[in-house]
């Protein structure tokens, strides 16, 4: 009995549809047709393979695991590749694929892409048949079954055939491909012919696939493939043309995607010179290559080449018609639109002078033009539209001429036969197209264009907002025609917006939009539609007519003889040409709504008309025009600079909510407003207005990105150009606050530009330039006319107190205060508060960046700054020069004994951190904080810290955070919120990392990221020099540096971040999900038993709990490693100080207890030095609950 019979009798799985019988029937037939005995295969091939895989060193291999699971699978896994290699018969491959694609088929996994590593080096006689057989299997699939979906796999793999460096493999694959017939064959052989023989071998093997041995064979195969493709498919390909195309085809990817002219493209220019007189023939070969090849960024090279071939070719209208009708290069998977736009359209444009609109080539070209626009949901090719419009202009019949010109529109529209919202369709009426449509509408009625969004957030975003008669209207994609025609009717217009179908695809249409008079619409219905609908089914014609909504047009019966819209438009534009404009702001209809809604609400609206007249004339250039700036300065001085900025703040705070400033039409005037804030007597208030614009523009729209990068960058440029120290301070404040990486990078570029002109170190420059908004001695008074508002800084807050003119306190703002003045004050307070609150985030950077000041700098820029001094109250500082510490209490420096501390100007000062202090010193300050009931604005005395031993510091990696399993989505959210970078890009190279710019270090916590995984395992922490946060496969390799080179405080703070990631995203927090996989279950069990939870947070909690035990009178017998022992009357319990999980001590049975911590937080006896540790409150609540377990039922304990 042979092996097959034995395993088949012992193991015959039941399959509902296809069984093992069919797989073995196919094998029997195939072996028989190949004249190979199965017993010979088993003895001479299968048995040696099994012996190798059964060796202990191969036990973990995937194929061996399959062998252990099922001998049938292993048998088929070896037998099928073997017989394919011996006899690659397409009829048998077709039968195999029928099984491969069938549900529940045993053969479905038999040709899984297994590289057979145990055989690779030492057993080529076994390895080559398996790997070559499997490769032929995939080539059959790509060539004969799904070539349109898999052609990308074919060439990339086949052109590297020389690099395999195994003669048997090379010859077998080449022979199989040579034996096939398919359209892409010449292209594939060209890739092989064009690929070099000098690939770098990754082993030191002797090269066997050489030019001398195989060069002529490959060239012969290539020539034969060209002849075969020409004969079978009617191509006109030439070997010499392929050779000439090699130089362009082999170019490296361009460094930029910017358009390239032929004159600046030496390889392209040389190529065009070589093919002079043969452009048409060469174009056929070039198009053949491009229709089979994915270009990536190489379109930059091919665009000028194709265009010049088209311009210089001698092809006529008949040649063009034949190519368009056969869709040569236009029906393939790759580059069809690119070929059409850059070759056929250029040919069409060259021939237009000899064509008439009624020629067949026009209708064929036009149909393809609209087909591509429909499929790509984009406006048709501009060059093609211009050429068609010129041809339409030559039509003699005036009615058809107008009809054709309306059809060749400036704006297009796509509908789909669906009641659902069609995502992506609005792309057609965005930007320039919508602007053109609304500009024409403005000729018919006095509307203002409020906003044409550059970015949309689905599903309810409008594609334009307009204002008419003091009412704003949102235009949505599905209501463009209905809304505009409704407005035209209300305005008494003689014209309506008509949808002209130019392309149909079953029940979906591509329309041109055009304004038409009644006579034009009548002609369109009677003649154009009748011709367009020819060949359509009756129900399809009915659907088309319904979509055009003729019953909603409602032309005015008194205006049925109106002139065509094209004539009306020409007359209107002619009238405007000679008009003299007095005030561009007041005369521009697009600003009417803004004037009514915002400017007219200001106290100084009349003066603002003059300001806005200058503002709307700003070109939006990177630098303001000197003459324009002088005019602006004059009108602002007339208004008064202080008044101007206060009212501008009101203006921007309200109008920024509407997003219209991000529209390209308003970007120039916005630039003018920004320049006014930074170039004309800039101050804290004016610069904070620019900050408001920048933050609004860079606000992230989920799934889309920032509202307007262009607008945000305008503001950044304006801040940098101001040259004011306060502007730099605002840049740093925004950078410290933002968690949005795109915004952070833009801010970093602006910071670099600013500091390039300063010799002061970046962070010290930031200290010096933080705006103080006029506060003196912690106070500022704002004048409200008949009252005052007093702002004071206390306990890290800005307090407000209204006063009358006699400085007597008021409960609220007086009722008779001017409303607009009150708005100005409230907005200014809001701006001040925003900057003040953002500065709190700067404190942690003192640790992360390992900051050190001289005593003079510290007293001047920190203690002497009204905002910063408030935020550093109650924080401990280290005098590095003297090795002593002090704390800032009520603006006074004290030591740990409460005595006044003297700080010299030359002393070096840093923010105290427990990681670089002795345990005794840490305990001393903890007692000081606890005894004096001091609330620190940032955890410090009781801060989690992470000391490293000398041995650890001598390494380049730390394993203390390795082997955790963290939920991917939660980790991404929390890491990015903490300023780290972790994205969905590049699964095998993406992990949390953060760049610490002042130290030029990047921290990495790698993990085996896979977007399909619920959780990822963490690996060793390490650091690299420079910014290595950008993920790309072609970046240089960064060298890991010794941990000893990282400042200890910085290292500790990075570890604190990672500890937070673990505490909040560990799968142990989700036992139900983590138990679904054995690996997670084992980790979860270890976590619950304290293996991973003995962290820095647990140590801090232990220190606090030790002080609380007598205060809360908790019955505890102390601590056991990382557990707090609680004595109950029924059981002794232990609570994990890291995770907060509670267990019965003896059995280690987990208690599912969720305590109410609300009452505990109200307990006045409970004075915690830290208030942001919810786990600590949970631990205390559990302890209080469990020590009184006499009246607790088993159900409550969950045990």
Mean pLDDT, rounded, for 72-81: 84
Q: How far lies 1183's CA from each of 1112, 1117, 1146, 1168, 1186, in Å? A: 10, 12, 17, 16, 5
Span of 167-176, 491-500, 505-514 with lowest mean pLDDT: 505-514
Average pLDDT over residues 1141-1166: 72
Mean pLDDT, residues 435-463 taken together: 82
Cβ density class 1138-1177: b for 16+ within 10 Å, e for less: bbbbbbbbeeeebbebebebeeeeeeeeeebbbeebebbb
Higher pLDDT: 762 or 826? It is 826
HSE at residue 708, side-chain half, CA atoms within 13 A, is 26
Burial class (CB in 10 A: 0-12, 13-18, 19+), 756: exposed
In the predicted structure, residue 105 carries a pLDDT above the cut 60: no
Residue 878 is predicted with a pLDDT of 97
d(CA 1030, CA 604): 50
Assigned CATH topology for domain 950-1084: TATA-Binding Protein (3.30.310)
Q: Say how far apart CA 963 and CA 1016 lie, in whole Å.
A: 9
Instruction: List Cβ neighbours of 623 (8 Å cut-off, separation of 6 or more).
Output: 721
Cβ 514 vs Cβ 565: under 8 Å: yes
CA dihedral sign, ordered 184, 190, 191, 192: positive
The pLDDT > 90 percentage for the chain reads 42
- Residue 100 tokens read as 């491969």
Choose between 55 and 262: higher pLDDT.
262
Reported as a pLDDT band with limits 50, 70 and 90, residue 1177 is confident
| pLDDT attached to residue 147 | 55
> Which carries the bigger pLDDT value, residue 326 or residue 1080?
326
Q: Let me know: does 158 contact 177? Beta carbons within 8 Å.
A: yes
pLDDT tens, position by position, 635-673: 999 999 999 999 999 999 888 888 788 877 788 899 999
The answer to whether residue 796 scores a pLDDT higher than 50 is yes
- pLDDT at residue 118, rounded to an integer: 58
**Quick check: bond before 459 cis, omega within 30?**
yes
Q: Where are the beta strands (DSSP E) in 855-1014?
A: 876-879, 884-889, 892-894, 908-911, 957-958, 965-967, 993-996, 1001-1004
Q: What is the 3-state secondary structure (H, E, C) of 33-55?
A: HCCCCHHHHHHHHHHHHHHHHCC
List, for residues 975-1006, the tens digit of each pLDDT value: 888 889 887 665 556 789 999 989 999 999 98
Please tell me the distance from the alpha carbon of residue 1096 to that of residue 287, in angstroms, as a whole number: 65
pTM of structure? 0.68
As a whole number, mean pLDDT of residues 783-805 equals 90
At 68, is the pLDDT very low, low, confident or very high (cuts 50, 70, 90)?
very low
- Whole-angstrom Cα distance, residue 331 to residue 183? 13
pLDDT surpasses 90 at 1149? no
Residue 961 has what pLDDT?
86
Burial of residue 908, with CB atoms counted within 10 A of its CB: 0-12 exposed, 13-18 middle, 19 or more buried: middle
Q: What pLDDT does 421 receive?
A: 38
Are 517 and 494 contacting, i.e. CB atoms less than 8 angstroms apart?
yes
- Mean pLDDT confidence for 56-70: 50
Residue 736 pLDDT exceeds 60: yes
Q: What is the pLDDT of residues 201-227, one digit of tens each?
A: 545 456 778 888 999 999 999 999 999
What are the domain boundaries of the chain? 3-145, 238-396, 402-579, 585-769, 772-839, 950-1084, 1093-1197
What is the pLDDT, as a whole number, of residue 423?
40
Q: Is the pLDDT of residue 1122 over 80?
A: no
DSSP letter (8 states) at residue 897: T
Q: Say if CB 662 and CB 418 are below 8 A apart.
A: no
Between 991 and 622, where is the model more confident? Answer: 991
Residue 216: how many other CB atoms lie within 10 Å: 10
Give the tens place of pLDDT for each residue, 684-717.
899 999 999 999 999 887 777 888 888 899 999 9
Cis bond before residue 106 (omega within 30° of 0): no
Structure token digits, residue 1030: 């950008």
916 closest CA partner among 875, 889, 951, 877: 877
Q: Residues 19-32: pLDDT tens digits? A: 556 788 888 999 99
Q: What is the pLDDT of residue 670?
A: 92
**Helix, strand, or coil (residue 1180):** helix
DSSP state letters, 158-173: HTTGGGG--HHHHHHH
Contacts of 263 by beta carbon, 8 Å cutoff, 6+ apart: 269
Distance, in Å, from the CA atom of 1194 to the CA atom of 608, rounded to the nearest integer, reads 75
Q: Does the structure show a pLDDT above 90 at 850?
A: yes
What is residue 234's predicted lDDT score, i.e. its pLDDT?
92
pLDDT of residue 65: 45
Whole-angstrom distance, CA of residue 102 vs CA of residue 367: 40
Cα gap 469→478, rounded to integer Å: 23
- The listed range with the strongest mean pLDDT (5-14, 400-409, 1138-1147) is 400-409
Tokens 């292209």 sit at which residue? 187
Report the range of poorest mean pLDDT among 306-315, 386-395, 1142-1151: 1142-1151
Return the pLDDT at 199.
Answer: 57
pLDDT of residue 865: 92
Q: Which of 95-99, 605-609, 692-696 shows the lowest per-residue confidence on average (mean pLDDT)?
A: 95-99
Does 1037 have pLDDT greater than 70?
no
pLDDT over 50 at 66, yes or no:
no
Residue 738: what pLDDT?
85
Nearest-angstrom CA–CA distance, 103 and 1091: 45
| Most trustworthy range by pLDDT among 412-426, 575-589, 880-894 | 880-894
Quick one: pLDDT at residue 17?
40
> Which structure tokens are listed for 849?
């960046």
Q: Which residues of 671-682 are buried (b: 16+ CB within 10 A; e: fewer)?
A: bbbbbbbbbbeb
Q: Is the pLDDT of residue 924 over 80?
A: yes
The pLDDT of residue 659 is 78
Q: What is the pLDDT of residue 1109?
A: 85
* pLDDT beyond 60 at 239: yes
Whether the predicted pLDDT of 937 surpasses 60: yes
- Reported confidence tier of residue 394, pLDDT bands at 50, 70, 90: very high
Q: Is the Cβ–Cβ distance between 512 and 502 less than 8 Å?
A: yes
The whole-number pLDDT of residue 1032 equals 53
**pLDDT beyond 80 at 1195:** no
The number of angstroms, rounded, from the C-alpha of 37 to the middle of its chain's C-alpha atoms is: 58
How far, in Å, CA of 1048 to CA of 917, rounded? 11
Mean pLDDT rounded to a whole number for the chain: 84
What is residue 2's DSSP assignment? -
Q: Cβ of 587: how many Cβ atoms within 10 Å?
A: 14
pLDDT at 106 over 50: no
Alpha-carbon distance of 41 to 123, in angstroms, equals 16
110-124, 239-253, 501-515, 878-892: lowest mean pLDDT where? 110-124
Cβ partners under 8 Å of residue 293, min gap 6: 155, 187, 334, 335
Look at residue 1012 and tell me whether its pLDDT is greater than 70: no
Contacts of 762 (CB under 8 A, 6+ apart): 751, 755, 998
CA distance 378 to 411: 10
């Amino acid at each position: 009995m042979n092996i097959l019979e034995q395993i088949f009798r012992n193991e015959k799985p039941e399959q509902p549809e296809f069984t093992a019988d069919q797989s073995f029937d196919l094998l029997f037939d195939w072996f028989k047709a190949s004249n190979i005995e199965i017993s010979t295969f088993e003895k001479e091939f299968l048995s040696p393979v099994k012996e190798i895989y059964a060796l202990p060193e191969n036990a973990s291999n995937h194929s061996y695991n399959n062998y252990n699971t099922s001998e049938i699978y292993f048998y088929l896994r070896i037998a099928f590749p073997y017989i394919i290699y011996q006899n690659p018969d397409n009829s048998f491959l077709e039968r195999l694929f029928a099984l491969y694609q069938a549900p529940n088929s045993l053969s479905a996994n038999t040709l899984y892409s297994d590289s057979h590593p145990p055989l690779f080096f030492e057993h080529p006689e076994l390895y080559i048949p398996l790997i070559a057989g499997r490769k032929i299997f995939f080539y059959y699939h790509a060539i004969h079954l799904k070539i349109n979906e898999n052609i990308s796999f074919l060439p990339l793999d086949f052109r590297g055939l020389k690099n395999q460096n195994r003669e048997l493999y090379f010859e077998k694959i080449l022979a199989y491909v040579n034996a096939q017939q398919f359209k892409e064959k010449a292209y594939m052989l060209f890739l092989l012919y064009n690929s070099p023989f000098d690939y770098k071998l990754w082993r030191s093997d002797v090269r066997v696939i050489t030019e001398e041995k195989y060069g002529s064979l490959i060239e012969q195969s290539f020539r034969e493939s060209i002849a075969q493709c020409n004969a079978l498919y009617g191509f006109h390909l030439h070997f010499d043309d392929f050779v000439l195309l090699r130089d362009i085809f082999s170019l490296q990817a361009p460094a930029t995607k910017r358009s390239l002219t032929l004159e600046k493209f030496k390889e392209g220019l040389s190529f065009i010179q070589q093919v002079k007189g043969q452009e048409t023939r060469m174009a056929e070969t070039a198009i053949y290559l491009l229709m089979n090849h994915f270009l990536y960024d190489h379109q930059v090279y091919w665009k000028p080449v194709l265009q010049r071939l088209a311009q210089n070719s001698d092809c006529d209208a008949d040649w063009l018609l034949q190519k368009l009708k056969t869709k040569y290069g236009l029906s393939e998977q790759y580059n069809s639109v690119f070929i059409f736009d850059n070759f056929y359209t250029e040919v069409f444009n060259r021939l237009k002078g000899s064509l008439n609109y009624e020629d067949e080539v026009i209708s064929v070209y036009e149909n393809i033009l609209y087909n591509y626009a429909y499929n790509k949901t984009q406006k048709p090719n501009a060059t093609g539209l211009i050429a068609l419009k010129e041809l339409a202009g030559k039509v003699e019949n005036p009615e058809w001429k107008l009809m054709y010109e309306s059809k060749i529109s400036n704006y297009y529209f796509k509908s789909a036969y669906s009641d659902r919202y069609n995502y992506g369709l609005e792309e057609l009426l965005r930007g320039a197209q919508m602007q053109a449509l609304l500009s024409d509408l403005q000729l018919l009625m006095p509307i203002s264009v409020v906003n044409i969004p550059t970015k949309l957030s689905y599903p309810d975003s409008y594609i334009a907002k307009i204002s008419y008669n003091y009412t704003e209207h949102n235009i949505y994609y599905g209501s463009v025609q209905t809304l505009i025609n409704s407005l035209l009717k209300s305005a008494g217009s003689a014209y309506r917006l008509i949808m002209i179908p130019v392309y149909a695809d079953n029940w979906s249409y591509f329309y041109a939009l055009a304004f038409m008079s009644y006579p034009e619409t009548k002609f369109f219905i009677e003649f154009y539609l009748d011709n367009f609908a020819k060949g359509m089914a009756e129900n399809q014609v009915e659907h088309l007519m319904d979509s055009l909504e003729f019953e909603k047009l409602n032309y005015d019966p008194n205006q049925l003889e109106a002139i065509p819209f094209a004539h009306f438009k020409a007359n209107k534009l002619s009238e405007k040409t000679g008009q003299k404009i007095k005030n561009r702001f007041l005369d521009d209809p697009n600003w009417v709504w803004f004037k009514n809604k915002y400017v007219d609400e200001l106290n100084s609206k009349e003066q603002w008309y003059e300001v806005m007249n200058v503002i709307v004339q700003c070109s939006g250039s990177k630098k303001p025009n000197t003459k324009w700036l002088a005019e602006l300065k004059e009108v602002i001085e007339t208004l008064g600079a202080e008044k101007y900025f206060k009212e501008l703040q009101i203006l921007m705070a309200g109008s920024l909510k509407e997003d219209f400033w991000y529209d390209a039409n308003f970007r120039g005037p916005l630039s003018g407003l920004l320049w006014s804030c930074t170039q004309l007597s800039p101050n804290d208030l004016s610069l904070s207005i620019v900050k408001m614009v920048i933050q609004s523009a860079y606000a992230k729209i989920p799934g889309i990105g920032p509202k307007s990068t262009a607008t945000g960058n305008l503001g950044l440029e304006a801040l940098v150009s101001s040259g004011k120290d306060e502007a730099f301070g605002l840049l740093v404040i925004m950078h410290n606050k933002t968690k949005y990486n795109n915004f952070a990078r833009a801010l970093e570029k602006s910071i670099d530009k600013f500091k390039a002109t300063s010799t002061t170190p970046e962070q010290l420059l930031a200290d010096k330039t933080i705006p103080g908004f006029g506060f003196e001695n912690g106070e500022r008074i704002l004048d409200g006319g008949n009252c005052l508002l007093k702002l004071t800084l206390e306990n890290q807050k800005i307090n407000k107190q209204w006063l009358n003119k006699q400085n007597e306190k008021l409960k609220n703002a007086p009722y008779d205060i001017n409303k607009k003045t009150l708005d100005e004050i409230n907005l200014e307070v809001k701006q001040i508060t925003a900057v003040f609150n953002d500065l709190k985030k700067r404190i942690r950077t003192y640790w992360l960046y390992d900051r050190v000041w001289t005593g003079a700098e510290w007293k001047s820029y920190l203690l002497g700054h009204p905002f910063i001094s408030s935020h550093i109250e109650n924080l401990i500082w280290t005098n590095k020069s003297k090795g002593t510490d002090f704390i800032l209490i009520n603006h006074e420096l004290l030591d740990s004994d409460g005595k006044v501390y003297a700080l010299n100007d030359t002393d070096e000062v840093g923010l105290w951190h427990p990681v670089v202090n002795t345990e005794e010193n840490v305990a001393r300050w903890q007692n000081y904080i606890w005894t004096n009931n001091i609330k620190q604005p940032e955890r410090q005395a009781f801060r989690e810290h992470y000391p490293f031993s000398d041995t650890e510091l001598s390494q380049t990696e730390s394993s203390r955070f390795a082997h955790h399993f963290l939920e991917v989505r939660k980790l991404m959210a929390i890491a990015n919120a903490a300023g780290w970078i972790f994205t969905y890009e590049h699964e095998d190279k993406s992990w949390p990392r953060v760049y610490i710019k002042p130290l030029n270090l990047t921290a990495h916590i790698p993990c085996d990221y896979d977007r399909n995984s619920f959780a990822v395992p963490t690996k060793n922490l390490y650091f690299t020099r420079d910014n290595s946060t950008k993920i790309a496969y072609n970046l240089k390799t960064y060298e890991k540096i010794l941990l000893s080179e990282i400042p200890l405080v910085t290292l500790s703070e990075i570890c604190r971040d990672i500890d937070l990631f673990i505490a909040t995203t560990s799968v142990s927090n989700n036992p139900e999900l983590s138990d679904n996989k054995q690996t997670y279950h084992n980790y979860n069990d270890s976590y619950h038993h304290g293996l991973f939870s003995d962290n820095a947070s647990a140590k801090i909690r232990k220190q606090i709990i030790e002080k609380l035990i007598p205060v809360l009178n908790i019955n505890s017998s102390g601590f056991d490693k990382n557990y707090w022992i609680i004595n109950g009357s029924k059981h002794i319990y232990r609570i994990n100080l890291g995770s907060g999980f509670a267990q019965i001590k003896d059995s280690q049975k987990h208690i599912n207890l969720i305590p109410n911590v609300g009452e505990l937080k109200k307990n006045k006896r409970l004075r915690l030095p830290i208030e942001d540790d919810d786990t600590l409150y949970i631990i205390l609540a559990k302890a209080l609950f469990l020590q009184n377990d006499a009246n607790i039922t088993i159900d409550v304990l969950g045990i």
